[in-house]
Amino acid sequence: MTRIDARPFAFELDAGSVGLVVIDMQRDFVEPGGFGESLGNDVSPLQQIVPTTASLIAGFRAHGLPVLHTRECHAADLSDCPPAKRLRGDPALRIGDPGPMGRILIAGEPGAEIIPELAPLPGEIVIDKPGKGAFCRTGFETILGDLGLRQLIFAGVTTEVCVQTTMREANDRGFDCLLAVDATASYFPEFKRAAIEMMTAQGAIVGWAAETAQILEALDD
């Protein structure tokens, strides 16, 4: 065990049971012209975490530790995208509509792919999820069990939606969760701050939070 000086108290890292989960670093969310920007969002906060996330991924790879990626995307016929999800608000583009990077959030379309800077290596696990949480209608829990993982480090976007949802799902299933605070982002910085405060409150009710440099130092130790 290696101690990380995390919030709200030290996190005991077990290199024998830890994996990195990178949530939804997809072109439609991160790049200009994608779905995120079509909703009126500034994508620059998401772009700012790309170098930090890349260093975190590289650190896990260097130590031979599992790196798992998720993509939020749907079947071409939208059979896994209920109206309760698709028909929200009044966006310029909806899930499944043609966009600058192909049909919005449809599996196999360019916009649904992970950005090139963080592309999975051959053999790394990629979970396609129709919901905000990675455990919803996927085999994610079985995969984590097969890998022998009990601790999960989280990075990705957005902090208050897909990252927080997946962390809460993981916590309910008995995983220790730690968020890399400088490798996660929101279109709304105040939402990121609030989400981290909620997850680490009440004695790490959902999980811990630490900087990427602290996590990498613990891996090296």
Q: Which residues are catalytic?
A: 24, 129, 162
- Taking CB atoms within 8 Å and a gap of at least 24, the contacts of 27-33 are 27/101, 27/110, 27/111, 27/112, 27/113, 27/114, 27/115, 28/99, 28/101, 28/104, 28/105, 28/111, 28/112, 29/157, 29/158, 30/115, 30/157, 31/101, 31/115, 33/99, 33/100, 33/101
- In degrees and rounded to multiples of 5, residue 193 shows phi and psi of -60, -45
Q: Sign of dihedral through CA atoms 64, 199, 175, 72?
A: negative
- Rg, Å, the chain Cα set: 17
Pairing of strands 176-185, 208-210: parallel
The pair of three-digit structure tokens given for residue 208, joined into one six-digit string: 């811990």
Residue 159 near residue 142 (C-beta atoms within 8 A): no
